[in-house]
Amino acid sequence: MQTINVHEAKTQFSRLLSRAHTGEEIIIAKAGKPYAKLVPFAPVEKRTPGIAKGSVTADFFEPLPDQELEAWEK
């Protein structure tokens, strides 16, 4: 992992993006201290709705008991 200062990162941003796109991680430093990390983007897998088993019954919509409500309000 290479560390690059902010000024150099600004002047070579396109080149750094290309390097990150190929899998390299680059630390951007400000005043010699790590400030940010440039990493490759990893797309989020789409979730499939409806994979949970079961169903919602009428009991789901009933008010919670007072003891349960008190626990949530703490």
From CA 18, how far away is CA 5, in angstroms rounded? 17
Structure tokens at 31: 């005043």
Task: Please write the tens of the pLDDT for every residue from 3-58.
Answer: 999 999 999 999 999 999 999 999 999 999 999 999 998 887 888 877 778 888 89
Task: Please tell me the predicted confidence (pLDDT) of residue 74.
Answer: 73
From CA 44, how far away is CA 23, in angstroms rounded? 16
Task: Please tell me the predicted confidence (pLDDT) of residue 18.
Answer: 95
Domains parsed from the chain with CATH numbers: 2-38 (3.40.1620.10)
- pTM of the complete model beyond 0.75: no
Task: Please tell me the predicted confidence (pLDDT) of residue 46.
Answer: 84
Tokens 């919509």 appear where? 61
Task: Please tell me the predicted confidence (pLDDT) of residue 43.
Answer: 83
From CA 60, how far away is CA 51, in angstroms rounded? 19
* Alpha carbon separation from 30 to 37, 61, 67, 70 (Å, rounded): 12, 53, 52, 48
Task: Please tell me the predicted confidence (pLDDT) of residue 45.
Answer: 83
